[in-house]
Chains A and B, each alone.
Chain A
Amino acid sequence: MMSWPALYTQLVGANRHSTSLGKIWLSVLFIFRVMVLMVAAESVWGDEQADFTCNTLQPGCENVCYDQFFPVSHIRLWCLQLLFVSTPTLLIAMHVAYRNHRDKKRLLQASRRAAFLSSKSQLEQEEELESLKKRKLPIAGSFWWTYAFSILCRLLFEGGFMYVLYVLYDGFRMPRLVRCDQWPCPNLVDCFVSRPTEKTVFTVFMATASSLCMVLNMAELTYLIAKSIQNTLWRESTEIEQ
């Protein structure tokens, strides 16, 4: 069954080709966001609808008021955010798989030709294939573009979801009391949210972790661009020398 640990295994596989900042980003994502979400935040929001009480006996009023003030729960928004933010890394994994497949084909063709000319043993061929699988791809050429695009997507998703949360809930604070007069509520009723302070603490915590991840992504993008400019300048200077 698909679950967070399964996603973690997928992402760690692509992690090998990341920069150090990318590896730090993955650890921050899984320890400070996914783990905290699973072991702490979910139990805080667990009784959000059951314990949402309105000062009325009118049936249906609580349901309607809860739906008006909490269109999408924080937990669901965070789950979606984490899924969307993790997905661009799969682009990297796909590119690596494509490259490996292409290089393997080339290697097999070359070795078949070489086997006619020299006696290259089966063992050597297998060793070469294994080293092909285990090597770390340098971040250059089309792989650089895929990597940079994936970081850009991550940034967009993080920013987008944080903005949606901020707009839906008017800030990161959970109010203790909301006033509601949707039909079938008979008049303006007081409705009380369960555990508002604890929810505010966790919302601020998750927003901070999200900002930290955005900072790491921006730093990684800057590093990639700087490295690429440096490489281009170095190559030009060696060409000029020649």
Chain B
Amino acid sequence: MTLKPPAEPEVEPKMNWASFYTVISGVNRHSTGIGRIWLSVLFIFRILVLVVAAETVWGDEKSGFTCNTQQPGCESVCYDHFFPISHIRLWALQLILVSTPALLVAMHVAHRRHIDKRICKLSGKTSPKDLELIKTQKMKITGALWWTYVISLAFRILFEVTFMYLFYMIYPGYKMIRLVKCDSYPCPNTVDCFVSRPTEKTVFTVFMLAVSGLCILLNIAEVVFLVAKAYTKHLSKTGDATIGDWLRHKL
């Protein structure tokens, strides 16, 4: 039996999710109320659950995967055949990709601030107080920023749905099976292989799936809210009653 090196302290990965949190939560100030709820759900029910619970459940996924054979290499090959990519890695990638569109909004806000600063300098107001005001004021989600925000929401929904579909393709039914039968070389015949903690894994898969669905609903609600807000603003400004006119104005 080979000696395994002592487990790395959990500080480094948590530190990275924590630094990721500081980067992403900076965007929070320019989000709508629903956007802030989405961010809290993301961090509490997905990232935190992933780090403190799910990673320990899947921790022994390979060492606990046992096949009814003594043929060396058979377990390795069967594990690779049935688990091409682990749930944990898929969730980590999903969370990273789903959080990134928010940075588009952050970049747009930074760009707008830069332009406002330039305008301020040109008009002669160069006191540090004015510049501080520009830095701290909350941007209104109008004009080009509205489009950036809606596009970022669309990308979020797209990434969420894509990963849910990927999950379904790789692991049909979202259920973790207890027993898999495998006959890849070098297994001598069809061997029984047993997955470790199948029920606990199913529970967590269903939980993460439910929270992912909730996040999709929140994103859709946010899109609907933004569209409705922009439409009512347009109505109160021009008195046009048709959606056609509003769309023509927006586009």
Contacts and interface: CB of A to CB of B under 8 A. Distances in A.
Binding between chains A and B? yes
Interface of A: 3-5, 8, 20, 23-24, 27, 31-32, 34-36, 38-40, 43-44, 47, 50-51, 53-56, 176-177, 190-198, 201-202, 205
B48 interface: no
A23 B19 CA distance: 17
A57 to B, nearest CB: 9
Interface of B: 2, 4, 12-13, 15-17, 19-20, 23, 62-63, 71-73, 75-77, 79-80, 83-86, 88-89, 92-93, 96, 100, 103, 107, 111, 185-186
A196 B107 CA distance: 38
A198 B89 contact: yes
Nearest to A8: B19
Nearest to A130: B128
B16 A192 contact: no
Contacts of B80: 176, 194-198
Main secondary structure of the interface of B (DSSP, over half): helix
A76 B157 CA distance: 35
Contacts of A8: 19
Contacts of B12: 3-4, 38
A39 B76 contact: no
Contacts of B75: 53
Contact of B89 (A5, A40, A196): A40
11 contacts: A4-B12, A5-B19, A36-B96, A38-B12, A39-B13, A39-B17, A51-B76, A190-B73, A194-B62, A194-B80, A195-B79
A203 to B, nearest CB: 12
A47 B64 CA distance: 13
Given A55-B71, A192-B77, 12 more contacts: A4-B16, A32-B96, A36-B93, A40-B92, A51-B76, A55-B72, A56-B72, A176-B77, A194-B79, A195-B62, A202-B89, A205-B93
B15 A3 contact: yes
Contacts of B93: 36, 40, 205
A196 B78 CA distance: 11
Given A4-B16, A195-B80, A177 B73 contact: yes
Given A38-B13, A192-B77, A31 B20 contact: yes
Nearest to B93: A40
Given A38-B12, A194-B62, A50 B85 contact: no
A31 B15 contact: no
Contacts of A32: 96
Contacts of A40: 88-89, 92-93
A192 B76 contact: yes
Contacts of B79: 194-195
Contacts of B73: 53-55, 177, 190-192
B16 A5 contact: yes
Contacts of B96: 31-32, 35-36, 39
A212 B204 CA distance: 34
B72 A53 contact: yes
Given A53-B73, A192-B72, A39 B62 contact: no
A196 B85 CA distance: 10
Contacts of A197: 80, 84-85
Contacts of B89: 40, 43-44, 198, 202
A190 B186 contact: yes
A39 B10 CA distance: 11
Given A36-B96, A39-B17, A40-B93, A53 B88 contact: no
A101 B243 CA distance: 60
Contacts of B85: 197-198, 201
Contacts of A34: 16
Nearest to B11: A3
Contacts of B103: 27, 31
Contacts of A39: 13, 16-17, 92, 96
B84 A51 contact: no
Please list the 4 inter-chain residue pairs (A to B) with the smallest Cβ-Cβ separation, ordered nearest first: A192-B73, A197-B84, A192-B76, A55-B72
A189 to B, nearest CB: 9
Contacts of A51: 62, 76
B155 to A, nearest CB: 14
B202 to A, nearest CB: 20
A131 B241 CA distance: 52
Interface core residue of A31, A190, A193 (most chain B CB under 10 Å): A31
Contacts of A54: 72-73
A27 B13 CA distance: 18
